[in-house]
Amino acid sequence: MGADASDLSLVRRVQRGDKGAFDALVLKYQHKLVKLVMRYVRNPAEAEDIAQEAFIKAYRALPQFRGDSAFYTWLYRIAINTAKNAVVSRDRSPIEYNIDRNNEESYDMQSRLKDSETPEALVLTEEIRSIVNAAIEALPEDLRTAIVLRELEGLSYEEIAAAMDCPVGTVRSRIFRAREAIDRRLREVFEGGLGRTEELG
Amino acid sequence: MKEELDSQLSAMFDDELASAECELLARRLSRDGELRARWERYAVIAAAIRAERGVRLNARVARRVSVIVGAEPALAATAAPGRVSRRWVRPVAGAAVAASVAAVSVLWLRTHQVPGPVAAAPELAAVLATRVTAPTVVPAAARSPAGPDSYVVPPAARSGAAIVPAELANYVVAHSMFSPPVARRNLLSSFMTSEPAAAGPIAVSTDGAQGSPRDAKGSAQ
């Protein structure tokens, strides 16, 4: 088990021209990157745009990536620089909305333009969270502990094995079974919900 | 079999799968849409558990990036010429730098060429010419039977500063003040190193032939 072996195997495939492997990397890190960028910008839609730009920059720079650092560390740096540049350029040329502040209806429209966290997107996100939380609550204690230690605390399998006093193989199995249980409930939402949100978003 | 694959996928998502297995699974992941959808849901589960504020748990970014990347040329196609050019550029650039340095060095040496004692002091050259440029007659024993009788050896004094006579030292030093510093230093060091040889006067024969025993030996050879 090599640290970053998973990412590196996908990166090598992208470097050989496999775009599907890059999709997998984006799917894995998109939420982390948006969260990271949101330290610099408050607007979720703007954060998504910056994260998207960072991923495109990373894709174009991947031929130069030699694996000296972990892929996510490298991606993290690109995202930070992209976010900083975006903030600087936005401050230099702030977007002006030619809306009369005295006109209440127009002013409300401006607020809504800035806050692109649409109700539909919020509802879906909340729906997903509640499903995941409910699924976690329903898990047997050992599975719940394993998945929470992994996802919330970021512990490695070895560290979880030490904490739970069980073999690493058992940890791997517990985490997998926990994910499968949550995924079974999440799949229904994804099949119907995400397409609808795409159209709205 | 399916469950084992999904278990591997879960471990790969956590960076807890062996490299060799990662290689195989990465290939499947990039081609198998169903497997990738599962991978995506694993990422959503992780984000939901972390309850990342403001992060929307849809795949908007991923879908937009996928569309943009899909329109771009594949990296292998764009990277290949770059690698080739990089492979050639480095040695060529290195050779160019080396050639430039060599050319500059040659030009510098030509413009700052260290003149010999004679060139540095034309007056000395004139004096030396009157004293040491008389033709050297090679002894009969050294002559080639088939060669001409009046074989002339180039004057030995021109070949180096070692035989600058000592009595001319003051003259040379005085006049070398007008020569470049490097030449002056060279001239002075020549005096110092050739002190024993230069201490005595140049042997000039009465019949116009000159030369030390060393010169005669050299000529005989």
Q: Can you say whether the dihedral through the CA atoms of A51, A136, A178, A168 is positive or negative?
A: positive
What pLDDT is recorded for position A118?
Answer: 66
Q: Give the SS3 label for residue B136.
A: strand
From CA B155, how far away is CA B134, in angstroms rounded? 7
Q: In whole angstroms, how far apart are CA A194 and each of A78, A136, B57? A: 28, 21, 9
Structure tokens at A167: 């073999």
What pLDDT is recorded for position A106?
Answer: 46
What pLDDT is recorded for position B211?
Answer: 41
8 Å CB contact of B49 and A183:
no
Put simply, whether the predicted model's pTM sits higher than 0.80 gets the answer no
Interior/surface letters A60-89, b for 16+ CB within 10 angstroms, e for the rest = eebbebeeeeebbebbbebbbebbeebeee
Query: Which chain B residues have a beta carbon less than 8 Å from that of A8?
Result: 19, 22
Amino acid letter, A99: I
- Give the H or E element holding residue B22: helix B19-31
What pLDDT is recorded for position B41?
Answer: 92
Q: How big is chain A, counted in residues?
A: 201
Q: Which of B9, B65, B68 to mutate to test the interface with A (most CBs of A within 10 A)?
A: B65
Span A93-116, pLDDT tens digits: 655 444 444 554 444 444 444 445
What average pLDDT does the structure give for chain A?
84
Q: Is A67 left (phi over 0), alpha (psi -120 to 50) or beta?
A: left
Q: In whole angstroms, how far apart are CA B65 and each of A38, A59, A191, B42, B71? A: 18, 10, 20, 19, 10
8 Å CB contact of B39 and A173:
no
Q: Does B15 or A105 have the greater pLDDT score?
A: B15
From CA A178, how far away is CA B187, in angstroms rounded? 91
- Give the H or E element holding residue B78: helix B75-111
Amino acid letter, A116: S
Report, as an integer, the average pLDDT of B37-58.
86
The DSSP code sequence of B154-216 is PPGGGG-STT--GGGHHHHHHHGGGS-HHHHHHHHHHHHHTHHHHHSPPPB-TTS-B--HHHH
Query: Which chain A residues have a beta carbon less than 8 Å from that of B37?
Result: 190
Confidence of residue B110 (pLDDT cuts 50, 70, 90): confident
Query: Which chain B residues have a beta carbon less than 8 Å from that of A190?
Result: 37, 41, 44
Q: Does B174 or B143 have the greater pLDDT score?
A: B174
ipTM > 0.85 for the complex: no
Closest CA to A14 of A49, A80, A63, A57: A63
